[in-house]
């Protein structure tokens, strides 16, 4: 199969007016989002379904994708997807023993708009040097109606994440579970649920709108705050309070003071810092990839982590201790709260057990129980 057969022309239009021409893939609908890049070599299915990318158009820096196909196990979320995808080349004849389909079919089923045959590394350099900006993937030639399309881009605002309105409590049972862990749903990744269950945890997922009292009524041995949304996407209304960030900070502060161990991951790391009067700022172009080096300050060890975020903790709370830093730009990657049973990391902890587990985050967290 030739990937150019029957392929329609498509364009990537940036907020600054730059136009890139390629070919459309997946949904033919226009897609607007924040243009970011990801440096991972593999994991395209996970990237497309990571809740942290719900408002992003993701540029893949690696030139070839889709070569091992897709399957029903790799999605990080069942319904949340990236808004768009920008790639150099995709493989129409994938080969892998777990392969269940091609990436083009997957994009169509998920209704994700994509564009290929672009110089993705040039686009990456543009984002790296100039910072993230809004962009549009379209099948309409922007040279014919550029003003209307530019107005559409500039008017776009990130919609409220779907998890804000989730109101269901879901429990993932584990036979002979040692611990009961409650996760607050700020856009939860399936791989984190699986990692906890592999460590003999029963996992109960509760809505982000739950109060501290409602969360504690689940009788948790420990609590995980996980998610990947940017702060601007949840400055919206909950039914309970005017501002979702204010509601989350109030709840998280109470949880951290409850005496129950709390672990924050990604957005959870940021909301814990905010709840303790720290500050968070938006990054120039973010940390997104499976090859981000992090240094653990206590041991001096440096290891490679998976990350996908556009915000960092800027001012560390007075009651927190810096535990991890990014080895490249020295930004905060982890905090510990010695006066509480609380810790947080900006990266995604290693899910593997045994010798392949290089960061030990889940083990240290579960060790706080009791």
- What gap in Å lies between CA 58 and CA 35, rounded to an integer? 6
The predicted model gives 332-341 an average pLDDT of 97
Q: Where are the domains of the chain?
A: 9-155, 162-366
Q: Which fold has domain 162-366?
A: Rossmann fold (3.40.50)
Contact (CB, 8 A) for 283 and 301: no
Q: Is residue 23's pLDDT more than 70?
A: yes
Backbone φ and ψ for 106, nearest 5 degrees, come out as -60, -45
Q: Is residue 236's pLDDT more than 50?
A: no
Contact (CB, 8 A) for 308 and 288: yes
Q: Is residue 54's pLDDT more than 70?
A: yes
Q: Is residue 57's pLDDT more than 60?
A: yes
Cα 349 to Cα 12, 43, 213, 308, distances in angstroms: 34, 16, 28, 12
Q: What is the mean pLDDT of the chain?
A: 91
Q: Which fold has domain 9-155?
A: Glucose Oxidase; domain 1 (3.50.30)
Note the pLDDT of residue 162: 67
Q: Which of 53-67, 193-207, 238-252, 262-276 has the lowest mean pLDDT?
A: 238-252
Q: Is residue 71's pLDDT more than 60?
A: yes
Q: Which of 98-107, 123-132, 334-343, 353-362 has the lowest mean pLDDT?
A: 353-362
| Model pTM score | 0.92
Note the pLDDT of residue 241: 43
Confidence band, pLDDT 50/70/90 cuts, at residue 39: very high
The predicted model gives 211-235 an average pLDDT of 82
H-type alpha helices, the chain: 44-48, 103-110, 120-130, 142-155, 190-197, 212-216, 244-256, 267-275, 361-366
What digits encode the pLDDT tens for the residues 87-112? 999 999 999 999 999 999 999 999 99
| Strand order, beta sheet including 321-326 | 170-172, 201-207, 179-186, 222-227, 262-266, 342-345, 332-337, 321-326, 280-296, 302-313
Q: Is residue 232's pLDDT more than 80?
A: no
Note the pLDDT of residue 239: 46
The predicted model gives 253-276 an average pLDDT of 95
């Amino acid at each position: 199969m030739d990937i150019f057969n029957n392929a329609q022309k498509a364009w990537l239009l940036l907020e600054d007016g730059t136009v890139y021409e390629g070919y459309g893939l997946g949904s033919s609908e226009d897609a607007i989002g924040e243009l970011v890049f990801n440096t991972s070599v593999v994991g395209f299915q996970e990237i497309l379904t990571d809740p942290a990318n719900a408002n992003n158009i993701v540029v893949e820096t690696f030139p070839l994708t889709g070569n091992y196909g897709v399957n029903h196990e790799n999605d990080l979320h069942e319904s949340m997807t990236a808004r768009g995808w920008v790639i150099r080349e995709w493989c129409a004849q994938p080969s892998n023993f777990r392969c269940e389909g091609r990436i083009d079919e997957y994009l169509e089923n998920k209704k994700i708009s994509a564009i290929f045959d672009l110089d993705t590394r040039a686009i990456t350099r543009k984002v790296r040097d100039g910072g993230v900006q809004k962009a549009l993937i379209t099948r309409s030639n922007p040279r014919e109606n550029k003003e209307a399309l530019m107005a559409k881009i500039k008017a776009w605002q990130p919609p409220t994440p779907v998890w804000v309105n989730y109101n269901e409590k879901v429990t993932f049972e584990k036979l002979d579970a040692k611990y009961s862990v409650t996760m607050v749903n700020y856009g939860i990744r399936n791989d984190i649920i699986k990692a906890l269950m592999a460590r003999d945890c029963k996992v109960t997922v509760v809505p982000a709108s739950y109060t501290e009292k409602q969360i504690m009524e689940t009788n948790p041995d420990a609590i995980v705050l996980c998610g990947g949304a940017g702060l601007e996407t949840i400055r919206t209304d909950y039914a309970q309070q005017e501002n979702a960030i204010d509601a989350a900070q109030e709840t998280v502060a109470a949880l951290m003071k409850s005496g129950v161990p709390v672990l924050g991951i990604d957005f959870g790391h940021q909301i814990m810092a905010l709840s303790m009067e720290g500050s968070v700022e938006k990054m120039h172009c973010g940390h997104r990839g499976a090859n981000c080096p992090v240094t653990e300050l206590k041991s001096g060890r440096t290891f490679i982590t998976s990350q996908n975020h556009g915000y960092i903790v800027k001012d560390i709370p007075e009651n927190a201790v810096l535990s991890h830093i990014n080895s490249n730009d020295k930004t905060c990657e982890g905090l510990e709260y010695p006066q509480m049973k609380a810790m947080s990391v900006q990266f995604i902890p290693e899910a593997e057990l045994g010798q392949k587990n290089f960061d030990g985050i889940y083990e240290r967290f579960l060790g706080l129980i009791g």
